Amino acid sequence: MLLHTVRFLCSVVAAFARLVRELRKAMATAACSPSPVAVLTAPAAVSPIGLIASTPLPKRRKTLAQFAVPENLLVAPPPPPAVVLPAKVSTSGDDDVSGVGMVEQQQEARQSLTKTKAAWAARRRPSRLVIPVADDAGEVAAGWAAAAAAPAKETDVEVEGDGFWVASRAGPRHAMEDAYAVVTDKNDADSQLAFYGVFDGHGGRAAVDFVSERLSKNVVSAVVAAAGTEARREASSEEDAVSAAIKAAYLATDSELLTQHQDASGGACAATAVVKGGDLYVAHLGDCRAVLSRGGAAAALTADHTCAREEERARIERQGGYVCRSGSGVWRVQGSLAVSRAFGDGALKQWVVAEPAVTRVPLVAGCEFLVMASDGLWDKVSNQEAVDVVSGSRATACRELVDMARCRGSRDDVTVMVVDLHRFVRED
């Protein structure tokens, strides 16, 4: 930087010295040449170009310097009319300049100065910012509220049977993977034997289709067989024969699924209810849930099989597996599956077992109805809210619960079943 400054100062000094020398030469020449008045009063036959060209070299340079940068050019007045002069080139030296060339230089200088001033003016005045105004509809469409505000899809399934009601609707994310099953007419003349089930598949429909068809048959057959004396003796003291039969039916169904669908990678959760001899047996795998209404109060008969439960996490780790938390905050088996028990899931079967939890409830006065549903409902609706809705009207309760879950933002499949328990209550 210092070197450039020194060079610049030297060039300024040299230019100033040259200017002084030229001024001295011009003054000496003016003393010997005719006065300006004499030049202007010269004969009319001499052209302006001849006058300029016949001026000695030092005088010409001084005159051109006056024309090159006129003082009034700084205010950029409108350009005067162009003067067209005859083209004649002087032969009195090497630095020949014509009148036409001077006019063109002036015009170019004015145009350049005008462009420069316009550019600086544009830089001082920033361009206007155009900010679009978003309406409420655009804001709603950009978030989760769009799912709740959008009109609900037509209910895929809505059934009213003998003492039960079902409503099911597919979520917008994928094909329907929920199912249900009811068996009341194949009970070997035992009018108090009935089976109800809700199933939630994952990874495709293969597993949920198989389980919804086979589990009901296996459970009913196992429960009927368990009525024998030999089966009762084989049951442990901690559980009765029916509970043991239900567990065996669950495990047998899982074994059949893995054998017949070895290529299937998906699985299924389930919540089932069996009514036998005045008792209610509720079994489940995964996060399907069953809630009993007893005098208008909600009582959960199942506890979700998820990796967040300490006992489930300890069981998986004892079997050599691990549980980790995903980016969304959900605990998963081997970083993959959110439920710790399910049908199928052959690749994870060492840790994701199919042994259900079974709860036995005596059906006494005050047992009103049972609500079973997939996690698409329970993720958005509490147990007591579900009981309150069903208490209002059995016929429309399932559809109302499905609509409630969807309006609250559920994007999963939703299946709800309500079972009236009044006809099964013991008359003591």
pLDDT tens, position by position, 79-94: 555 444 444 444 444 4
Which backbone phi and psi does 369 adopt, to 5 degrees? -155, 165
Contacts of 193 (CB under 8 A, 6+ apart): 187, 220, 223, 224, 274, 275, 276
Contacts of 279 (CB under 8 A, 6+ apart): 242, 360, 361, 362, 363
- Dihedral sign from CA coordinates of 419, 420, 424, 428: positive
Percent of residues in the chain assigned helix, strand, coil, to nearest 5:
45, 20, 35
Give pLDDT, residue 88: 43
Q: Which of 348, 251, 265, 357 is nearest to 304 (CA)?
A: 357
DSSP per position, 119-164: HHHHHHSPPPP--PPPPHHHHHHTSTHHHHHSPPPPPSEEEE-SSE
pLDDT in tens, 253-308: 999 999 988 777 799 999 999 999 889 999 999 999 999 999 999 999 999 999 88
Total H helices, total E strands in the chain: 14, 14
Q: Span 72-80, mean pLDDT?
A: 47
Which backbone phi and psi does 50 adopt, to 5 degrees? -65, -40
Q: Which of 97, 116, 2 is nearest to 54 (CA)?
A: 97
Lowest average pLDDT, out of 123-127, 182-186, 217-221, 311-315, goes to 123-127
Residue linked to tokens 């169904």: 253
R_g of the chain, CA atoms, integer Å: 49
Do 34 and 69 meet the contact criterion of CB atoms below 8 Å apart?
A: no
Q: How far is CA 74 from the centre of its chain?
A: 60
How far apart, in whole angstroms, are the C-alpha atoms of residue 212 and residue 197? 8
How far apart, in whole angstroms, are the C-alpha atoms of residue 191 and residue 32? 144
Contacts of 359 (CB under 8 A, 6+ apart): 281, 282, 283, 301, 302
Burial category of 122 from C-beta neighbours within 10 Å (exposed 0-12, middle 13-18, buried 19 and up) = exposed
Fold for 157-304+341-424, please state it: Phosphatase 2c; domain 1 (3.60.40)
Return the SS3 of 422. Answer: helix
Which backbone phi and psi does 366 adopt, to 5 degrees? 105, -20
Do 344 and 321 meet the contact criterion of CB atoms below 8 Å apart?
A: no
Percent of the chain residues topping a pLDDT of 90: 46
Return the SS3 of 79. Answer: coil
Give pLDDT, residue 141: 31
Give pLDDT, residue 263: 72
Taking 50 as the threshold, does the pLDDT of residue 18 lie above it?
yes
Q: Which of 20, 31, 106, 102 is nearest to 60 (CA)?
A: 102
Measured at the CA of 244, the angle between CA 243 and CA 247, to 5 degrees, comes to 90
pLDDT in tens, 146-205: 333 333 444 478 999 989 999 999 998 778 999 999 998 655 555 578 999 999 999 888
How far apart, in whole angstroms, are the C-alpha atoms of residue 153 and residue 374? 18
Do 342 and 285 meet the contact criterion of CB atoms below 8 Å apart?
A: yes
How far apart, in whole angstroms, are the C-alpha atoms of residue 103 and residue 84? 9
* Every domain of the chain and the residues it spans: 157-304+341-424, 306-340
Confidence band, pLDDT 50/70/90 cuts, at residue 38? very low
**CA 123 vs CA 75, 85, 89, 120, 130: distances in Å:** 20, 40, 44, 5, 18
Measured at the CA of 341, the angle between CA 340 and CA 347, to 5 degrees, comes to 80
Taking 50 as the threshold, does the pLDDT of residue 135 lie above it?
no
Q: Which of 218, 245, 207, 197 is nearest to 339 (CA)?
A: 207
